[in-house]
Structure 1
Amino acid sequence: MKAHLLVQVWLLLSGLTFDAGQSRRPQARLIIYRTREFGGATYNITLNDQKLGKLPTNRYMQVELPPGRIKIESIGDYFTENQTLWIDAHPSRTYYVKAIEEVDFLSQTLLLAPVDNEQAQRELQGIKPIRLPRPN
Structure 2
Amino acid sequence: MKAHVLLPVWLLLSGWTDVPQPAQSNPAHLIIYRQREFDGTPYTIKINDQKLGTLPTNRYLQMDLPPGRVKIESARDYFSENQTLQLDAQPGRTYYIKAVEEVDFLSQTLLLAPVSEAQGQREVQNIKPAAKPRGR
TM-score range, shorter-chain basis?
0.7 to 0.9
Matched to 1:116, the amino acid is S
Matched to 2:123, the amino acid is E
Alignment-derived partner of residue 121 in structure 1: 121
In the superposition, relative to structure 1, how do residues 95 and 111 fare at CA in structure 2: closer, same or farther (>3 Å)? same
CA drift of 1:131 comes to 4.2
In the superposition, relative to structure 1, how do residues 58 and 24 fare at CA in structure 2: closer, same or farther (>3 Å)? same
TM-score by length of 1: 0.79
CA drift of 1:118 comes to 1.3
Where do 5+ consecutive residues of structure 1 fail to align? Answer: 1-21
Where do 5+ consecutive residues of structure 2 fail to align? Answer: 1-21
In the superposition, relative to structure 1, how do residues 106 and 23 fare at CA in structure 2: closer, same or farther (>3 Å)? closer
Alignment-derived partner of residue 54 in structure 2: 54
Give distance in 2, aligned partners of 1:106 and 1:67: 38
CA drift of 1:132 comes to 3.0
Give distance in 2, aligned partners of 1:98 and 1:70: 16
Q: Residue 25 of structure 1: SS of its match in structure 2?
A: coil
Alignment-derived partner of residue 97 in structure 2: 97
Alignment-derived partner of residue 112 in structure 2: 112
CA contact (8 A) 2:24 2:66 kept: no
Give distance in 2, aligned partners of 1:107 and 1:133: 26
CA RMSD of aligned residues (A): 1.8
Which range is displaced more, 119-128 or 102-111?
119-128
CA drift of 1:122 comes to 1.5
CA drift of 1:25 comes to 2.2
* C-alpha distance after superposition, 1:59-110 (max 9, x if no partner): 0011001000000000011100000000000110000000000000000000
Give distance in 2, aligned partners of 1:117 and 1:91: 15
CA drift of 1:121 comes to 1.4
Give distance in 2, aligned partners of 1:85 and 1:95: 12
Percent of pairs with identical residues:
66
Alignment-derived partner of residue 27 in structure 1: 27
Equivalent residue pairs, number:
115
